[in-house]
């Protein structure tokens, strides 16, 4: 560091010049580097940064498309979009908050809780993000706000669309409902539309399965905004494409009628065109109101629905599985004919039959005497079918039963369908590693035991018997080809149809279903599915009437029918959970008769319903409101439970439905598990009278 050499002024000057020159070179190099860097950013990377600058500047807001309608076979809307009026506040434009809120509270009759909520939202609001004041306003309220708008700076009234189901609960299980997408749905697709406020998608039923067709494509609103979100200018707006309308085979008038006619029952009704397979009504009652689900349901309502023993959250048509009971007898008779049994071949019914160590009883305690096939159907004689099943074995029945639609899967746009069981020896070996017994055949012969079917399959069965064609149920309107004929002797089918005609019109068990329309006859078959075991001791003292039993232990009541009997056009099934044939007006023959009457003579059907409904506590809406009020009174809920919306979803595919159905059928299954000696009774026919 220390250098001894003499450094002159001249040499220092030279050193300075050299170093200053170096410094200048360095500075110039930095200058060139900076210019080059700028050139790289502004020219080479210009496209990239222009894009970033644009995405900064332009705020793209998706506009949810108008959802397509669901309409019935005649074009009547089942699900449409109702204009919904709402009022928001833009916090940044609000001048006198207290005065504006006071005016709004007066115009919209806001509660103190609502005002408190708005106050909290306004305190937390970020500038230009609107704060909702109220939605679902009526026109008068909306107009009042608009009239006072000059004195309400910052208040923004707007119109949106809300999904609307004019028929309410009557179509709940058919259409499902719409709701806000879940966080999981967004995570799965990362579709921008899913996080647009106010966007709703199908959550259940047809709304869910037809979602792609109903949704449409969103429009986009391009706004120039500042970094803080202030709107500078509206740029071009790209319009969206509304979703397409979907036409169903449903007759919404019939659908509503059937829902009302089921009354206070927990049950289902399916009506089909038995020539084409078009489903005219598909009703499961009670149901939730899809309108209130679309708006977001309160905890209170959700709890009420999920605790109801009438399972309003389950679509019983496709998810409910029941022992079909005696409704399978016409089909079994067809199997007998196909197996070579003559219609005149008779059995003597004494009221019971001993097979091995067990005794099997007929529903007629003292027996039917001599019964041939037609009488066996008309009187629903159990012994006839016990004896025939004992002779032939159920393996001869099962293939025919499957051809008639049981255990079959149908290609319908409904989620969570369950398809039941048609047992045979191979099935039992597969599932229980046990040999098929004669008792199994006897139980199955009257639609009990292992046999399970859903109400839709029973309707298909009735339709196939009625038309002799392999009809497939369909829900979406479209070109209908005539389905192929079933491979059965038409003469055999005629015998079966005559038997079903006799059920109603020939002194059979379904006399109550006789149509009041001159010249038109209904053919039907009644059924009862027992859900409890009747002990020998009880039988000795007289079997308990269903009316004396708790709801859950009452028998299921079933009914299949078609009309007109001589030239079938419509087929239907009615299944009442724990209906128990207790009240005539609410029993299956009457329900089936009136639903069919609606198709043939609408005014007569409506008149008879008008006489009945007041006894049940009014129409569906009135009864649901009364039930909700009673529940609310019983629960004494907190205000929060009432106000807070839950994002609850009807458990279509969840185990909850499985549990509900399994609970409903568990007793029936338990009966069978006890093996031979079980006293199966198909107690059939006329309605018990309440004493």
Partner 1 sequence: MRGRLGFVPEPVAQLPWRVIMMVLAIGCFGLVVLYSAAGGSVRPWAWSQGIRFFAFLTASIMLSRVPERIWKAGALPAYGLLVLALVAVELLGKISGGSQRWLDLGLIRLQPSELMKPAIILALARFYDILPIAETRRWSGIWPAAALIGVPAALVMLQPDLGTAIMIGAGGVVIMFLAGVPLRLFVAGVLAVAVAAPLALRFALHDYQRNRILIFLDPESDPLGTGYHISQSKIAIGSGGLLGKGFLHGTQSQLDYLPERQTDFVFATMAEEWGLVGGVLLILFFFLVIRWAMGVAGRAQGRFARLTAAGLATTIFFYVAINLAMVMGMAPVVGIPLPLVSFGGSAQMTVLLSLGILMSIDRQNRRTPGW
CB 414 within 8 A of CB 206: yes
Q: Report in angstroms how near the CB of residue 20 gets to partner 1 at its nearest.
A: 5
Determine the 3-state secondary structure of 67 from DSSP.
Answer: coil
Q: Report in angstroms how near the CB of residue 237 gets to partner 1 at its nearest.
A: 20
Please pick, from the candidates 190, 228, 354, 430, the single residue that binds partner 1 as defined by CB under 8 A: 228
Q: Report in angstroms how near the CB of residue 92 gets to partner 1 at its nearest.
A: 14
CB 445 within 8 A of CB 311: no
The two structure tokens encoding residue 293:
């689900």
Rank residues 45 and 689 by Cβ distance to partner 1 and give the closer one: 45
Determine the 3-state secondary structure of 557 from DSSP.
Answer: strand
Site membership for partner 1, residue 158 (CB under 8 A): no
Stretch that binds partner 1, among 1-9, 181-189, 247-255, 655-663 (CB under 8 A): 1-9
Site membership for partner 1, residue 3 (CB under 8 A): yes
What residues have CB less than 8 Å from 536, skipping those under 6 apart? 679
CB 605 within 8 A of CB 257: yes
Q: Report in angstroms how near the CB of residue 127 gets to partner 1 at its nearest.
A: 12
Burial of 150 (0-12, 13-18, 19+ CB in 10 A): exposed
Indicate the helix (H) or strand (E) that contains 81.
strand 77-89
Stretch that binds partner 1, among 101-109, 226-234, 380-388, 390-398 (CB under 8 A): 226-234
Round the CA-based radius of gyration of the chain to a whole number and report it: 36
Phi-psi region of 145 (alpha: psi -120 to 50; beta: other; left: phi over 0): alpha
Stretch that binds partner 1, among 36-44, 303-311, 589-597, 602-610 (CB under 8 A): 36-44
Determine the 3-state secondary structure of 380 from DSSP.
Answer: coil
The two structure tokens encoding residue 122:
């306004």
The two structure tokens encoding residue 504:
């109603």
User: How many angstroms separate the first and last alpha carbons of the chain?
Assistant: 124
Stretch that binds partner 1, among 38-46, 95-103, 317-325, 599-607 (CB under 8 A): 38-46
Rank residues 50 and 99 by Cβ distance to partner 1 and give the closer one: 50
Q: Report in angstroms how near the CB of residue 268 gets to partner 1 at its nearest.
A: 55
Site membership for partner 1, residue 226 (CB under 8 A): yes
Torsion angle defined by CA atoms of residues 544, 547, 548 and 550, in that order, rounded to the nearest 10 degrees:
110
Torsion angle defined by CA atoms of residues 620, 622, 624 and 629, in that order, rounded to the nearest 10 degrees:
-170
Rank residues 41 and 120 by Cβ distance to partner 1 and give the closer one: 41
Q: How far apart are CA 643 and CA 180, in angstroms?
A: 17
Please work out, in degrees rounded to the nearest 5, the angle formed at the alpha carbon of residue 453 by the alpha carbons of 451 and 457.
140
Say what angle helices 382-392 and 329-338 make with each other, to 10 degrees: 40
- Which residues face 558 on adjacent strands? 527, 575
Stretch that binds partner 1, among 51-59, 250-258, 330-338, 599-607 (CB under 8 A): 51-59
Q: Report in angstroms how near the CB of residue 228 gets to partner 1 at its nearest.
A: 6
Q: Report in angstroms how near the CB of residue 14 gets to partner 1 at its nearest.
A: 10
Site membership for partner 1, residue 222 (CB under 8 A): no
Site for partner 1 in 11-30 (CB under 8 A): 12, 15-17, 19-20, 23-24, 27-28, 30
In the numeric block, the tokens 């979907």 are attached to 246
Site membership for partner 1, residue 677 (CB under 8 A): no
Indicate the helix (H) or strand (E) that contains 256.
helix 252-261
Query: Which residue, 268, 267, 265, 271, is CA-closest to 251?
Result: 271
Site membership for partner 1, residue 234 (CB under 8 A): no
Q: How far apart are CA 490 and CA 219, in angstroms?
A: 58
Burial 521-559 (b: 16+ CB within 10 A, else e): bbbbbbbbbbbbbbeeeeeeeebebbeebeeeebbbbbb
Please pick, from the candidates 182, 227, 237, 442, the single residue that binds partner 1 as defined by CB under 8 A: 227
Site membership for partner 1, residue 520 (CB under 8 A): no
Please pick, from the candidates 45, 482, 621, 666, the single residue that binds partner 1 as defined by CB under 8 A: 45
Burial of 397 (0-12, 13-18, 19+ CB in 10 A): buried
Rank residues 23 and 120 by Cβ distance to partner 1 and give the closer one: 23
Rank residues 46 and 74 by Cβ distance to partner 1 and give the closer one: 46
Query: Which residue, 49, 596, 620, is CA-closest to 285?
Result: 620
Please pick, from the candidates 37, 106, 365, 602, the single residue that binds partner 1 as defined by CB under 8 A: 37
Stretch that binds partner 1, among 32-40, 351-359, 365-373, 549-557 (CB under 8 A): 32-40
Rank residues 24 and 675 by Cβ distance to partner 1 and give the closer one: 24
Rank residues 15 and 234 by Cβ distance to partner 1 and give the closer one: 15
Q: Report in angstroms how near the CB of residue 230 gets to partner 1 at its nearest.
A: 8
Rank residues 225 and 477 by Cβ distance to partner 1 and give the closer one: 225
Stretch that binds partner 1, among 41-49, 93-101, 275-283, 384-392 (CB under 8 A): 41-49
Rank residues 28 and 74 by Cβ distance to partner 1 and give the closer one: 28
Site membership for partner 1, residue 127 (CB under 8 A): no
CB 530 within 8 A of CB 668: yes
What residues have CB less than 8 Å from 318, skipping those under 6 apart? 412, 414, 416, 417, 418, 454, 456
Q: Report in angstroms how near the CB of residue 43 gets to partner 1 at its nearest.
A: 6
Determine the 3-state secondary structure of 577 from DSSP.
Answer: strand
Site membership for partner 1, residue 232 (CB under 8 A): yes
Q: How far apart are CA 594 and CA 650, in angstroms?
A: 30
Please pick, from the candidates 43, 491, 540, 636, the single residue that binds partner 1 as defined by CB under 8 A: 43
Q: Report in angstroms how near the CB of residue 236 gets to partner 1 at its nearest.
A: 16
Please pick, from the candidates 53, 342, 621, 689, the single residue that binds partner 1 as defined by CB under 8 A: 53
Q: How far apart are CA 255 and CA 595, in angstroms?
A: 9
Which residue spans within 241-308 are E strands per DSSP? 241-242, 246-247, 266-273, 279-285, 297-298
Site for partner 1 in 537-576 (CB under 8 A): none
Q: Report in angstroms how near the CB of residue 107 gets to partner 1 at its nearest.
A: 36
Rank residues 11 and 644 by Cβ distance to partner 1 and give the closer one: 11
Query: Which residue, 592, 622, 614, is CA-closest to 258?
Result: 592
Site for partner 1 in 55-74 (CB under 8 A): 56-57
Site membership for partner 1, residue 46 (CB under 8 A): yes
Q: How far apart are CA 105 and CA 144, in angstroms?
A: 12
Stretch that binds partner 1, among 227-235, 529-537, 538-546, 614-622 (CB under 8 A): 227-235
Give how many residues touch partner 1 by CB under 8 A.
43
Please pick, from the candidates 35, 126, 625, 629, the single residue that binds partner 1 as defined by CB under 8 A: 35
Site membership for partner 1, residue 139 (CB under 8 A): no
Site membership for partner 1, residue 535 (CB under 8 A): no
Contact residues toward partner 1 (CB under 8 A) are: 1-3, 6-9, 12, 15-17, 19-20, 23-24, 27-28, 30-31, 34-35, 37-39, 41-43, 45-46, 48-50, 52-54, 56-57, 224-228, 232
């Amino acid at each position: 560091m220390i250098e001894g050499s003499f450094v002159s002024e001249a040499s220092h000057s030279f050193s300075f010049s050299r170093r200053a020159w170096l410094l200048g070179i360095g500075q110039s190099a930095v200058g060139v580097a900076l210019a080059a860097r700028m050139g790289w950013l502004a020219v080479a990377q210009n496209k990239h940064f222009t894009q970033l600058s644009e995405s900064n500047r332009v705020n793209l807001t998706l506009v949810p498309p108008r959802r397509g309608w669901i309409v019935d076979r005649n074009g009547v809307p089942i699900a449409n979009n109702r204009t919904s009026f709402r009022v928001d506040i833009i916090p940044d434009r609000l001048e006198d908050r207290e005065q504006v809120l006071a005016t709004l509270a007066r115009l919209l009759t806001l509660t103190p809780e609502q005002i408190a909520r708005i106050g909290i939202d306004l305190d937390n609001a970020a500038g230009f993000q609107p704060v909702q004041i109220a939605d679902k306003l009526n026109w008068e309220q909306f107009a009042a706000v608009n009239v006072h708008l000059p004195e309400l700076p910052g208040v923004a009234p707007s119109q949106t669309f809300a999904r609307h189901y004019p028929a309410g609960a009557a179509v709940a299980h058919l259409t499902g409902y719409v709701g806000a997408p879940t966080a999981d749905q967004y995570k799965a697709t990362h579709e921008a539309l899913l996080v647009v406020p106010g966007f709703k998608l199908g959550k259940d039923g047809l709304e869910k399965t037809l979602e792609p067709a109903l949704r449409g494509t969103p429009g986009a609103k391009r706004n120039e905004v500042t970094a803080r979100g202030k709107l500078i200018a509206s740029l071009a707006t790209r319009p969206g494409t509304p979703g397409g309308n979907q036409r169903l085979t449903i007759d919404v008038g019939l659908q509503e009628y059937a829902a009302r006619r089921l009354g206070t029952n927990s049950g289902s009704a399916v009506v089909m065109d038995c020539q084409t397979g078009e489903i005219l009504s598909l009703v499961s009652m009670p149901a939730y109101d899809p309108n209130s689900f679309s708006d977001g349901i309160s905890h209170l309502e959700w709890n009420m629905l999920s605790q109801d023993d009438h399972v309003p959250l389950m679509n019983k048509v496709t998810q409910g599985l029941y022992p079909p009971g005696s409704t399978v007898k016409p089909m079994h008779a067809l199997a007998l004919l196909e197996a070579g049994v003559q219609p005149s071949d008779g059995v003597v019914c004494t009221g019971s039959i001993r097979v091995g160590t067990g005794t099997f009883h007929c529903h007629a305690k003292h027996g039917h005497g001599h019964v041939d096939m037609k009488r066996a159907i008309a009187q629903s004689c159990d012994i006839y079918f016990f004896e025939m099943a004992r002779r032939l074995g159920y393996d001869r029945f099962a293939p025919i039963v499957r051809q008639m639609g049981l255990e079959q899967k149908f290609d319908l746009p409904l989620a969570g369908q369950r398809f039941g069981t048609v047992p045979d020896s191979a099935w039992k070996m597969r599932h229980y590693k046990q040999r098929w017994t004669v008792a199994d055949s006897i139980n199955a012969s009257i639609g009990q035991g292992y046999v399970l079917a859903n109400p839709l399959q029973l309707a298909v069965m009735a339709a196939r018997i009625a038309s002799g064609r392999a009809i497939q149920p369909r829900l979406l309107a479209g070109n209908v080809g005539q389905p192929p004929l079933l491979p059965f002797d038409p003469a055999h089918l005629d015998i079966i149809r005559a038997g079903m005609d006799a059920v109603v019109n020939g002194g059979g068990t379904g006399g109550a279903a006789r149509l009041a329309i001159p010249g038109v006859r209904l053919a039907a078959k009644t059924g009862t599915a027992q859900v409890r075991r009747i002990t020998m001791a009880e039988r000795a003292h007289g079997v308990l009437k269903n009316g004396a039993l708790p709801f859950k232990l009452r028998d299921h009541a079933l009914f299949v029918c078609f009309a007109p009997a001589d030239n079938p056009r419509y087929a239907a099934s009615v299944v009442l959970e724990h209906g128990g044939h207790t009240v005539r007006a609410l029993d299956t023959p009457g329900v089936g008769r009136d639903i069919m009457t609606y198709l043939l003579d609408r005014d007569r059907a409506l008149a008879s319903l008008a006489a009945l409904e007041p006894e049940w506590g009014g129409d569906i809406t009135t009864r649901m409101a009364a039930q909700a009020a009673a529940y609310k009174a019983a629960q004494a809920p907190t205000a929060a439970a009432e106000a807070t919306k839950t994002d609850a979803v009807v458990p279509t595919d969840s185990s909850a439905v499985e549990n509900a159905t399994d609970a409903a059928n568990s007793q029936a299954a338990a009966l069978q598990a006890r093996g031979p000696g079980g006293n199966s009774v198909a107690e059939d026919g006329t309605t018990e009278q309440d004493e």
